[in-house]
Amino acid sequence: MNHQLLGGLCERYPEQLRGHLEIQGLCFAVAAAPEIPPPQQWMAWALISPEDIDQVLADKLAEPLMDCFKQQLVLMRNEQSAAVLPKECEFYPGMTLESPLSQWLCGCLLGHRQLEPVWQKAWQTMQQQEPEQAPQAAKELSHILRLLSTFANVELAIKQAAERGNPDLSNQLSDIALTLPRALQSYVKLSGTLAGYLPNQFETFKS
């Protein structure tokens, strides 16, 4: 299976490739974007230093990366975006940056940062065409990203919450984590709404 092949490549080339779960989260963000970039653009984001990659590894990566991306598309088209998180990506007290959930979310946020101009472009078009809806869309996206960032780096989130006068965040995280699947569904739904302002963006990737 190419899913296993991708994991094997990540283990074999740890200095060149991001972690397997990080790449899965990255592929989710790419698949969920209002406008999907061409493969040669987003595949480079799976690399720690794209300029240092050799062609042999690049050739090995292409198919499993594309399969990972297509898997995310299938889940979202079947309205299963709550199931995009791998089973091992669960919150537990004492999570670190190396924890599966943190790794996946770090990849997702990496992808979102790379694609932020696309989201911004779609939102600006919405703002021009339907200005009454744009503020709510921006507010919803901001809330989702804050939630994802919290579990991408729990230690930092707890520290920042304490500095803002909320020392109890660590006791609330287990309950907050239950909202992650719904947040991912909202992320996909919001992207779909914004995609309506950027027509024909999915045609290249129809299977």
Domain assignment of residue 129, yes or no:
yes
Q: How would residue 59 be classed by pLDDT, with cut points 50, 70 and 90? A: confident
Residue 152: domain span: 2-87+94-200
Mean pLDDT of 55-76: 88
On the question of pLDDT at 206 being above 80, the answer is no
pLDDT digits (tens, 9 = 90+) for 179-200: 999 999 999 999 999 999 987 6
Q: 42: phi > 0 → left, psi -120 to 50 → alpha, else beta; which?
A: alpha
Question: Could you give the number of structural domains in the chain?
Answer: 1
On the question of pLDDT at 84 being above 70, the answer is yes
pLDDT digits (tens, 9 = 90+) for 6-29: 888 888 888 888 999 999 999 999
C-alpha 187/C-alpha 113 separation (Å) is 14
Domain assignment of residue 206, yes or no:
no
Tell me what pLDDT residue 207 has.
36
Tell me what pLDDT residue 203 has.
44
On the question of pLDDT at 102 being above 50, the answer is yes
Handedness of CA 113, 184, 193, 137 (dihedral sign): negative
Domain assignment of residue 207, yes or no:
no
Inter-residue contact 151 to 177 (CB < 8 Å):
yes
Q: Whose CA is closest to 20, among 40, 38, 5?
A: 5
Domain assignment of residue 145, yes or no:
yes
On the question of pLDDT at 78 being above 90, the answer is no
Q: Percentage of the chain surpassing pLDDT 70?
A: 92
Domain assignment of residue 42, yes or no:
yes
Report the predicted TM-score, pTM, of the whole model to 2 decimal places: 0.90
Written as six digits, the tokens of 203 are: 């045609």
Domain assignment of residue 72, yes or no:
yes
Q: Whose CA is closest to 172, among 195, 192, 147, 140?
A: 147
Tell me what pLDDT residue 116 has.
96
On the question of pLDDT at 1 being above 60, the answer is no
Mean pLDDT of 53-79: 85
Give me the residue label for tokens 């299963």.
80
Tell me what pLDDT residue 202 has.
46
C-alpha 197/C-alpha 192 separation (Å) is 9
